[in-house]
Amino acid sequence: MKSERKLPLLKASQIQFPRGLKALLAGIVLLPFIYSGNDQLSQLEQVMQRGSLTMLTRNGASSYYLGSEGDTGPEYELVRNFSDYLGVDLEIEVAEAFNQLSVLLDKGKGELIAANLTRTPERELVFNFGPDYLDTSTIVVYRRGEARPQGMADLEGRKIMVIAGSSYEEALVKAHEQQPGLEWESRSDVGIEALLLAVSDGAIDITLIDSNIYSLNTQFYPRVATAFSLAGTMPHAWAFPSGADDSLVQKARAFMLQARNNGQLQAIIETFYQPRQRLDRVGMFQFLEQVRKRLPPLLPVFQDVANAHGMDWRLLAAIGYQESHWNPEAASYTGVRGIMMLTRRTAAQLGLTDRLDPEQSIEGGARYFLQLHSRIPKRIEEPDRTWMALAAYNMGMSHLEDARVLTQKRGGSPDSWDDVNKNLDLLSQEKWYRDLRFGYARGFEARQYVENIRSYYDILIWMETREHPMLVAQALAPE
């Protein structure tokens, strides 16, 4: 029987490893300790690794919507700049209701909520907030002509409606401690535009709204007035997931500091919240002044381009005035420039090399308008085709099609400008736009846009047929 030979046990210090192998084995042994309980990438690392940042938002005027040239909105533009700062792409996830935003964030469907969200003590318990970028006050609004409430006590017995899960609801909950008779209805299926319309129509008595949103919408709801403002201001900030990981928050702080210093933040605020132009007595005076000062050197260009494309120069000039007040160097934060305010993308598609050159801008504007005009169904007769093409110039062909579909659903003719025009305002009301293919649009602006151009057009026709001295006679003379 063969006996077993036992090998002597060696101490670790007696084992000789080849050069480099010892360090490798030590690393393998330590791996479980290095990664145990800490193997998750930070939020920032995940974004950088994926190459994209997802923004959770709502479809509406104060956050995100599809404009004539693509995605836009104050929150969208700010987050887009943040994604550029990080060097990643931006993706959008739109919640159907305001109170769904936190659910989507918890499920990891996005990295941040950017939806006109105010930072409140209650929300600080469930979110990590980025830096404040806008301060607003909360306004109580009522229907003009009704008894004006002076304070919360005057709201008792009034029909009040607010958005569920909003800071407005939180404000009413706090006020209820002092005013136990205060009652309200919270709704998750309405947007702020729908509530303003409800106040305007008398369907409800009161709603609460941020001052910035009120300034953005007030001219389109003339029956709505401010009753009073709640004490203090409400800071707006992006909401990030709660927890110890603040890597993205820190990046947001650095970005926002830069955006304040280089003017990006202020430019966005001015672009989206400045009062919109309306053609009133003052507007008419300004138009006539520019007819005298700016139009004369541009008039031959408008005529030559219009003649080359079979257009009416007076319509082309009216579009140019509405877009830029005939300022060749006009520019907006969103990137549109020149007399016809063309985007860089549109100019490139049209083969233009300098949007600030009046001849190129007017030529490009004419061709762009005619492209839209050609896409209007052939069965639609003039002048309805032209008015629809103008609306598309302002808000995009997609939203015009939504308006036509909505018009047909409501019993109107989608081929009639009068019928479509009556429904444009509905594109900004969640009750209607949530079921449309392309969502929210500032239809009220498109309606005003077309009305303004028609007014300018009529004035130019009137002036030309009467050989008005404000127009340059030789420029109007036929060749």
Q: How far apart are CA 432 and CA 406, in angstroms?
A: 8
Q: How far apart are CA 317 and CA 308, in angstroms?
A: 15
Give residue 219's pLDDT. Answer: 62
Closest CA to 188 of 118, 102, 113, 120: 102
Contact 133, 265 (CB under 8 A): yes
Helix, strand, coil percentages (3-state) for the chain, rounded to 5, are 50, 15, 35
Contact 94, 57 (CB under 8 A): yes
| Domains defined for the chain, CATH in brackets | 43-131+237-273 (3.40.190.10), 138-232 (3.40.190.10), 281-476 (1.10.530.10)
Catalytic site positions: 323
Give residue 190's pLDDT. Answer: 83
- For CA atoms 473, 475, 476, 479, the dihedral sign is positive
Each residue's pLDDT tens digit in the chain (479 positions)? 333 333 333 333 344 444 444 444 444 444 443 443 446 899 999 999 999 999 999 988 789 988 766 788 899 999 999 999 999 999 999 998 888 999 999 999 999 999 999 998 989 999 999 999 999 999 999 999 999 999 999 999 999 999 998 889 999 999 999 999 999 999 988 888 789 889 988 999 999 999 988 887 776 677 899 999 999 888 999 999 999 999 999 999 999 999 999 999 998 988 887 655 444 556 777 887 888 889 999 999 999 999 999 999 999 999 999 999 999 999 887 788 999 999 898 999 999 999 999 999 999 999 999 999 999 999 999 999 999 999 999 999 999 999 999 999 999 999 999 999 999 999 988 889 989 999 999 999 999 999 999 989 988 887 776 555 555 433 433 34
Alpha helices in 202-246 (DSSP H): 211-217
DSSP 359: H
How do beta strands 161-163 and 185-187 pair? parallel
Contact 395, 72 (CB under 8 A): no
pLDDT in tens, 81-138: 999 999 999 999 999 888 899 999 999 999 999 999 999 898 999 999 999 999 999 9
Give residue 72's pLDDT. Answer: 87
What is 331-350 written as a DSSP string? Answer: B-TTS-BTTTTB-HHHHHHT
Distance set, CA 374 to CA 47, 51, 385 (Å): 43, 39, 9
Beta bridge pairs of residue 93:
56
Alpha helices in 136-246 (DSSP H): 167-178, 192-201, 211-217
Tokens read off for 284: 């008419």
Q: Please give the backbone phi and psi of residue 236, each rounded to the nearest 5 degrees, phi first.
A: -100, 140
Q: How far apart are CA 384 and CA 387, in angstroms?
A: 5
Q: How many CB atoms lie within 10 A of CB 369?
A: 21
